[in-house]
Chains A and B, each alone.
Chain A
């Protein structure tokens, strides 16, 4: 009997240690994201499905019963700015999408046979039914958005089924919007193919490295990516105004179509890069791409990026960094405690950690994050706490975001999306920029104060309490935050 004959016992023996130190939780971000999701739901429930979909009509010339009518590719009204250097202030609202049923059908018509014949899908996997409109409306009446309702009804991430797609441009200054479909194999680590439709805005048809690093993003790459060799790349201008590009990487195929209305469609197919043995002819992919209709999008929220924010590069996630930064973080927290204790004797450091914040697979910010208990009690009888975060240089911008800019590159913002009456202001204290965010609900006060130092670091002081506390108003908190010393770190390491 070998050990491996009883993998269940081996599993139990191998249970990892989960006694890691607690990490700070950004509950404010949780609330903001939650309120944003609620607002999206209300956009539909309040306005009614019909009103909410106005302006979203798809120009889909589909014949459900007989032969397909000739497709048309109207250019539309165009833009009086370059859509490549434009974007949206956030992800598309999750409202009723009347394009979706017909789009899914055209997607399956165009790519279904190709995916089956090439070995990506078994034929039976394309037999699924969308929930009825009544079922979807019932789920939406419970507060879900359109695609959330579909998801709750089990109609999501199916093979060749479009769902919403959003991506950030220029580190979150703007968003790109569109739709994406995958292979629907939820047990696979990576999808074997994607079909991605992009609304106008934030991308360029000029080939280049794909992903969200460059802005505008490149639709398709003519450089080596799947293998060490550059692909065989072709560009074809069609008489109807479309442009087709293909990239044959040998073990993978990619293709993109740019439409006269400024939208695009791209797809990528992993044929044999890991020995899967799938085969697909470039010509067949070309035919499938060209069989898709041009999709119309609501571009009323597309705004040009007048000034591209020069966001200092963030940091790659580094598992070792929190440990390496621990001593500096602790010294920084001790220095904060000293300043706070001088103002309010009896301050206690509750928890502290060196934290990397960012999205998975993207760049991160480096923070020293500490929570302090102050020797103050509010009107509700609770001890007042303060969260103090040092943000080291890299991956963010000082001040408050301009009105048309997403909040991602900034440390503090009043998100229009939440339904609190919060107020953001920018001032200057001793030559340094100070941003404040305040919101009051009844007698409850919440303050955020961010002080931006010219050396590239920032400190954000946040606190909330009930009622009034002598010597602990907004001005006092600003003064306190501005008095905090520089964090302990090696400036040379951050001077990139």
Chain B
């Protein structure tokens, strides 16, 4: 059995190698660097608590899954917030010269209005470029669920984006 010192050294190395990736993943999921750092800190603590049992080869995928679960837990803990969610997407800057900026704002706003698991599925598939199988592994669900969540999420996005898209003459 590895000594505490060995475990800490090994975990430190793992963290140095993978923290950037985990942090980016948490940011893409949450859309907030502060929350992303909080998620990664919690996920790493959970991973270290069971580090003795983690297969080093599978460790990155395992911790990635913890990050997704922690993000989903954060969303669930949002019950304490009582602010009302505005049903309207935020106004986009009028006459902004860069269409990409418009698209980005509208997409992020629409994505924010999806249920947490749908949002996570779309983020992992389209921003993280994970395969259906890898997304399923990260989400702890079946490939079929990933496909259905993607379909539902994209359909809802389509509706939300249509509402926000200006009518062109």
Contacts and interface: CB of A to CB of B under 8 A. Distances in A.
The A interface, classified by DSSP as helix, strand, loop or mixed, is loop
Contacts of A3: 103, 161, 165
Given A5-B158, A356-B34, A361-B80, A26 B28 contact: no
A344 interface: no
B141 to A, nearest CB: 11
Contacts of B20: 22
B79 A182 contact: yes
A16 B30 CA distance: 11
Contacts of B27: 16, 18, 20
A187 B115 contact: yes
Contacts of A30: 15, 41, 44-45, 48
Interface residues of B, number: 65
Interface of B: 3-5, 8, 11-12, 15, 19-20, 23-24, 27-28, 31, 33-35, 37-38, 40-42, 44-53, 72, 74-82, 84-85, 100, 103-104, 106-108, 110-111, 115-118, 122, 126-127, 154, 157-158, 161-162, 165
Contact of B104 (A5, A16, A27): A16
Contact of A37 (B28, B37, B49): B49
A4 B41 contact: no
A225 B161 contact: no
B49 A33 contact: yes
A61 B68 CA distance: 40
B108 A14 contact: yes
The B interface, classified by DSSP as helix, strand, loop or mixed, is helix
B40 A420 contact: no
Given A4-B161, A7-B157, A157 B104 contact: no
Nearest to B118: A187
Nearest to A36: B49
A2 B162 contact: yes
Nearest to A6: B158
A186 interface: yes
Given A16-B127, A34-B49, A361-B80, 5 more contacts: A7-B161, A10-B161, A30-B45, A35-B49, A187-B116
B154 A7 contact: yes
Contacts of B82: 225-226
B154 A190 contact: no
Contacts of A324: none
A433 interface: no
A91 to B, nearest CB: 13
A18 B28 contact: yes
B74 A360 contact: yes
A238 B57 CA distance: 60
A98 interface: no
B102 to A, nearest CB: 10
A117 B71 CA distance: 32
Contacts of A2: 162, 165
A276 to B, nearest CB: 12
A441 B8 CA distance: 11
Interface in A133-172: 142-143, 157
Contacts of A14: 103-104, 106-108
Interface string A1-29: 01111011011111110101011011101
Nearest to A212: B80
Given A2-B162, A14-B107, A33-B49, A189 B33 contact: no
A483 interface: no
Given A23-B37, A191-B79, A13 B103 contact: yes
Given A5-B158, A34-B48, A26 B41 contact: yes
Contact of B122 (A11, A20, A187, A356): A11
A493 interface: no
Q: Which of B52, B80, B104 has the largest count of A CB atoms less than 10 A from its CB?
A: B80
A11 B84 CA distance: 26
A189 B87 CA distance: 13
21 contacts: A2-B162, A3-B165, A4-B157, A4-B162, A10-B103, A13-B100, A14-B104, A14-B106, A16-B108, A23-B37, A27-B12, A29-B41, A33-B46, A34-B45, A36-B49, A41-B49, A143-B50, A143-B52, A189-B85, A190-B81, A360-B77
A157 to B, nearest CB: 7
A319 interface: yes
Q: Closest 5 A-B residue pairs measured CB to CB?
A: A34-B48, A187-B115, A33-B45, A37-B49, A14-B107
A356 B35 CA distance: 11
A235 interface: no
B124 to A, nearest CB: 11
Q: Which of A13, A25, A273, A360 has the largest count of B CB atoms less than 10 A from its CB?
A: A360
